[in-house]
Amino acid sequence: MSAPELSRMIKPKALPTGPLLIEASETEREALAKRFGVTSLPSLTASVSFGEKEGAVVAKGHLDAVIEQPCAVSRDDITYEAHEEFDLRFVPEGPETVHAPDEEFELSLEDLDTIEYDGDAFDIGEAIAQTLGLAVDPYREGPNADRIRAEKSIESDEEQAPSGPLAEALAKLKK
């Protein structure tokens, strides 16, 4: 496994007392741009505050990034800002709960943002990188998208008429 592109290790026994400001270096931003398939990341910063709750480390903060990527239609590079809030729980790795293949189980809202770590530290940098990955919009369209659609006679999703067996059955019911 390769090293994370943005790594900032935090020891739960020595949590920062104030907000931690993380600013990705040029090398880190280049590696993250490659990882997420965007042209570039001109800037990436995050601010994180830490606390403890019920044996877990709670990390709350926000990230701000400038993302440059190709338009989904024209392929021209477009630049936009991403601002994401995050609220994560870091817990020491424990014995995994084993479920039978067909057994149903439910996750609570708290489980969705819980990250297990092994050892005496966790990587808040990788968590920020993953938050950035969720902020990248692979279908982002630039200002020339409508013109390119018209030139190439491409219909947008809103213009396409529903098709298929379900659409046909619904059309018959409407009549």
**Quick check: is 47 in a domain?**
yes
**Quick check: is 116 in a domain?**
yes
Tell me the residue range of the domain where 56 lies: 9-174
**Quick check: is 165 in a domain?**
yes
Q: Which of 115, 111, 133 is nearest to 124 (CA)?
A: 115
**Quick check: is 2 in a domain?**
no
**Quick check: is 32 in a domain?**
yes
Tens of pLDDT, residue by residue, the chain (175 residues): 577 899 999 999 999 999 999 999 999 999 999 999 999 999 999 999 999 998 899 999 999 999 999 999 999 999 999 999 999 999 998 765 444 566 665 555 555 588 999 989 999 999 999 999 999 999 999 898 888 888 888 776 555 566 677 777 777 777 7
**Quick check: is 84 in a domain?**
yes
**Quick check: is 108 in a domain?**
yes
- Buried b vs exposed e over 77-101: b needs ≥16 C-beta within 10 Å? ebeeebeeebebbbeeeeeeeeeee
**Quick check: is 42 in a domain?**
yes
| Number of structural domains in the chain | 1
Distance CA 27, CA 111 (A): 33
